[in-house]
Amino acid sequence: MAFGRLERTKGQEPMSEINVTPLVDVMLVLVVIFIITAPLLASSIRLDLPRAEGTQAADAPRFVTLVLDRAGQAFLNDKPVTALELADQLAATAKQNPETEIQLRADTTVPYGRVVEVMGVAHKAGLSRIGFVAEPAK
């Protein structure tokens, strides 16, 4: 039996460079997420929209956004308006283009009578194209 010396291999040395590939991958995913979610944050008024089957984003060439919040306050293009201001601004919009669509966003807690009231103001102003905005059902 010969007792010889076994050779030991030297272990790997620690890596002194930073691997940036995973960092770049994570940053690209974050950029894609922000690009997708940025248009969804366009409306600054918090609403609890009703859900309905077959809803999709409207691609109208010309539209105005009319929002009714929980208190029944009207917002035209995200600016609060009174009933008289709403009628005047909708009439001015109808004079420019009578085919302008109104995208009506109403909170689920707004009474139906208030929604019909606002629709009547729009119809009296000369705008008959009204689209109801809802979230898709889960």
pLDDT higher at 92 or 11? 92
CA angle 100, 125, 110 (to 5 degrees): 85
pLDDT higher at 104 or 48? 104
pLDDT digits (tens, 9 = 90+) for 26-84: 999 999 998 888 776 666 667 777 787 776 655 445 889 999 998 889 999 889 999 89
Local confidence band at 25 (pLDDT 50, 70, 90 cut-offs)? very high
pLDDT higher at 23 or 18? 23
Evaluate whether 81 touches 122 at the Cβ level (below 8 Å). no
pLDDT of residue 60: 41
pLDDT of residue 55: 63
Write the CA distances from 81 to 36, 53, 68, 77, 101, integer angstroms.
Answer: 31, 31, 11, 10, 18
pTM (two decimals): 0.56
* Mean pLDDT over each residue of the chain, to the nearest integer: 84
pLDDT of residue 95: 92
pLDDT of residue 90: 92
pLDDT of residue 3: 65
Look up the CATH number of domain 51-136.
Answer: 3.30.420.270
For 106, the token pair is 């109403």
